[in-house]
Structure 1
Amino acid sequence: MQSLTRLGDDLNFASSIIDQVDSITLPRFQSQDLTIRTKPDNTEVTDADVAAEQRIRSMLGRSRSRDAILGEEEGETGSSSRRWIIDPIDGTRNFMRGVPVWATLLALEEEGEIVMGIVSAPALHRRWWAGKGLGAFTGRSWANAKQIHVSDVRNVSDASLSYSSMDGWAARGQLRGFLRLAQESWRTRAYGDFWSYMLVAEGAVDMACEPELELYDMAALVPIVTEAGGTFTSVSGEPGPWGGNAVATNGHLHDEALKILNSISDGEGTARA
């Protein structure tokens, strides 16, 4: 594990990268000449996604040339115990439609652990970041940063749940489990994407879950949630962003949320492993 001083340096460097990326993505938001194409996996990518990832890779190449990189648009390059993980625009469809809930996600993995994450949502004028052992923060800049913490809600019946879509739960055979969690919660809202998890970290929402995610969708979110005092696992309870899906809570609610999600399947009515 790197020292806290080195991690702080990485966070400062990541912030300088994100400053430049915001200057690329925000002017393209709601642009009339946005270029959009469909990738082989039937997801969309815009010229802003591509330009953002290219800028991040360029800056990493100059200052962190020994580190590996995994990006949504250009895949994996390099081999190192240190790996930067990029989602140039999380919420591309929002970006395309003029919805301001989208963000650039940048994380640092070291020896198999995500040790740093930064999330920038320039159309919302918000940024969040965290480093392992350093806490989680939000603010427009380092100078006016505020440390954030999860809520203290102890029961699902008193909790607010945020989610994305329901299609993936049906594909997993867990739609009934998800609906049970939603029904047992005090309040549900579909904030979606990175926004759900940042609200968990801030204590505005108590639980968030999604059934189908890639590593680059989750990596930057994990340290922000956990350094704020929360818990981030897969639906099966695997810690971190490695399980292909996510459940994030304030920690108090985690076991109960996982139990409800896995309590009934769409087919046999039995729990999924």
Structure 2
Amino acid sequence: MSDTLRDPSPYHDDLRLAHVLADSVEEITMSRFGAADLQVESKPDLTPVTEADREAERVIRENLKRARPRDAIKGEEFGTSGDADRLWIIDPIDGTKNYVRGVPVWATLIALVDAGTPVVGLVAAPALHRRWWAAQGTGAWTGRSLTSATSISVSKVDTLADASLSYSSFNGWAERGKDMDLFRLSKECWRSRAYGDFFSHMLVAQGSVDIAPEPELEDYDMAALVPIVTEAGGRFTGLDGRPGCWSGNGVSTNGLLHDEVLARVGDDSPAPSLIPGD
């Protein structure tokens, strides 16, 4: 039996459920990945959405309503239903632009937030044959299932000159007037690459990358990432330094470099709170 089952976390059953939910949509997302007749539309914010996004979220919602009828649900495609301290946050396909172009770096993100704190996170990337997950108190793990997993932890790199940085793109930084700040940070680091989306943060959690800042994110882009990074020993905050996924942007690090990163690309003043119920 995997060591992932040893710790007495109150969220173990929820973590198991997250794996079941990811299993339930993997056939949907994989069967449409690379399909010649994949239907792609533009949402009002001009980001793409496919029938796979919508069908995957619909299936997850139906399963959650049966398994956790008292919990609230928020998804990228269908908004929020219910009003409870326990809130499931879903991104059925994070990295849709990759998905529609046949790039295998995309994932289903499933998170449980309890009283404003992300306590369960699962990132399922079936085209990469990988999952990453954590629940509060369990540590962070990667593998294909709960019973076949490897513990992960962030790196011990403590100087920017030895650090590896991953980002998504420079466009959002330019809109914030921070593109030169990011450029200067990248020049201070040993290496920079644009792995992008969820993948940057999972590489931080497993110690392959040390810094991953992003200037524009929604809570459904981040909620599942937070427990994984923090249980791996890292830090995940907004660019305003506030912990969690409520700042409209995010930065994950191994913790040792976090304050230095915020000093270079962070916000000068905190953003308005986006925490549910605030």
User: 2:255 aligned to 251, 257, 269, which one?
Assistant: 251
Q: Counterpart of 2:39?
A: 35
Counterpart of 2:196 in structure 1 is: 192
Distance 2:249 2:241 in 1: 10
**Contact kept in structure 2, 1:85 and 1:109, CA below 8 Å:** yes
Correspondence for 1:272 among 268, 271, 275:
268
CA–CA separation in structure 2 for the residues paired with 1:109 and 1:144: 25
Equivalent positions of 1:74-93 (< 5 A) are 74-93=78-97
The one of 57, 64, 87 equivalent to 1:60 is: 64
Q: How far apart are residue 41 of structure 1 and its match?
A: 0.8
Over aligned residue pairs, what C-alpha RMSD do you find? 1.1
Deviation at 1:4, TM superposition (A): 4.3
SS across alignment from 1:34: coil
Q: For 2:11, which of 7, 10, 14 is the aligned residue?
A: 7
| 8 Å Cα contact 2:9/2:136 also seen in 1 | no
Counterpart of 1:266 in structure 2 is none
Normalising by structure 2, we get a TM-score of 0.93
Per the TM alignment, residue 5 of structure 1 is displaced from its structure 2 partner at its CA by 4.8
- Does structure 1 residue 221 correspond to structure 2 residue 225? yes
Q: 2: CA distance between counterparts of 1:141 and 1:239?
A: 28
Determine the structure 2 residue equivalent to 1:17.
21
Equivalence map 1:137-176=2 (5 Å): 137-176=141-180
Amino acid at match of 1:246: G
Q: State the distance in 2 between where 1:4 and 1:25 align.
A: 33
Which of residues 107, 111, 127 is equivalent to 2:115?
111
Give a deviation string over 1:141-175, Cα, whole Å, max 9, x none: 12220110000000011100000010000111111
- TM-score, length of structure 1 as denominator length: 0.94
Runs of 5+ in structure 2 lacking a partner? 1-6, 270-278
> C-alpha offsets along residues 211-241 of structure 1, whole Å, 9 cap, x if unaligned?
0000000000000000000000111111111
Q: Is the 8 A contact 1:180 1:261 kept in 2?
A: no
Q: Residue 272 of structure 1: CA displacement?
A: 3.2
Runs of 4 or more above 4 Å deviation: none
What does residue 273 of structure 2 align with?
A: none
